[in-house]
Chains A and B, each alone.
Chain A
Amino acid sequence: MSSPGYIKVDPPEGYSEPGLFATSLDKVVGLARKNSIWPLPFATSCCGIEFMATMGAHYDLGRFGAERLSFSPRQADLLMVMGTIAKKMGPVVQQVYVQMAEPRWVIAVGACAASGGIFDTYSVLQGIDHVVPVDVYVPGCPPRPEQIINGFMKIQELVGNEPLRRRYSPEYKELLKSYGITT
């Protein structure tokens, strides 16, 4: 028996009957969101080239629903920061993050975005979590495309399991305030 030419996505837990499927709203919304994330590739250096390879035909991030890259932050869900962020660029990252609409996630791809990498110098921001709240860190210098896809799948897990009212909770507002983001 040969395998089908598609990947089956399991339905969320719920009560099903012929013609009826009842589950909780956040599970359905999570399922829809996680399979159609629109990333914003914020590629600054070498990790950006590995991201180009990940989007290419061999490793194909489009399989996970991220085919449509959005370069406008207003239309993006996931901010993928790839590459070294210098102190000059830090405010720009925060400005791009602030323009994104909720719900938004951030993935720090590469050692430089996660923690400054090999550049422990006066001009490099030692990790973008000094300016934006980060959800997933992908280490590597540069990380292999498989690692970037692994990070993306972890983001998908986060997106799929997120409660609907998380972004209105006081803890989240505290988190944003600690970064100086007051909108």
Chain B
Amino acid sequence: MDNKTIIDILQGKFGKNASAVDESSDILTLTIDRSILHDVILCLKEDAALQFTFLTTLCGIHYPDVPLPLGVVYHLHNLYEKKRIRVKTFLPGADPSVSSLTDLFSAANWMERETYDFYGIIFTSHPNLKRILNVDYMDYFPMRKEYPLEDSARPDKDDRFFGR
């Protein structure tokens, strides 16, 4: 299965402007609009020629100062033909929600919770979307670029000496 087959099947089903295709990095990367994301991943998983049945990983990303700053990146894998594919979707800052993939892949459950915990991306119809790694009373989303790495409430380390 080569990249052209995948692109042809997807553009046949979802129209020509449904995805931006990028073949410059190591694996085929598609950028999909969030409204059809769930259907595209369903097609990638269940289509007889595609069969990307393994969700390798799912993570969030934040590019500040662009119209669609938050994004989710999915890596799928066809174990039998040894082919990987990367699917990206970008979300507006005011309403960062996208549909959840837990009905397709049980592996997406905790990975989406982690993405919510770090970036604040809401996954609609997720069974249990709450923070997983950080403390429950944390009120901001730490991996976004505007927040610092260190704990700003520390009384004992002076920034003048520690150069942050």
Contact = CB atoms under 8 A, between A and B. Distances in A.
A92 to B, nearest CB: 12
Those 10 A-B pairs whose CB atoms lie nearest each other, nearest first:
A122-B151, A88-B135, A120-B150, A121-B149, A87-B135, A122-B142, A123-B134, A121-B150, A122-B150, A126-B154
Interface string B104-136: 000000000000000000000000000001110
Interface residues of A, number: 7
Interface of B: 133-135, 142, 147-152, 154, 156-157
Interface of A: 87-88, 120-123, 126
Contacts, number: 24
Contact of B149 (A87, A88, A122, A126): A122
A121 B118 CA distance: 14
Nearest to A125: B151
Contacts of A88: 134-135
Contacts of A121: 149-151
Given A87-B135, A122-B147, A122-B150, 19 more contacts: A88-B134, A88-B135, A120-B149, A120-B157, A121-B149, A121-B150, A122-B142, A122-B148, A122-B149, A122-B151, A122-B152, A123-B133, A123-B134, A123-B135, A123-B142, A126-B151, A126-B154, A126-B156, A126-B157
Contacts of B150: 120-122
B111 to A, nearest CB: 19
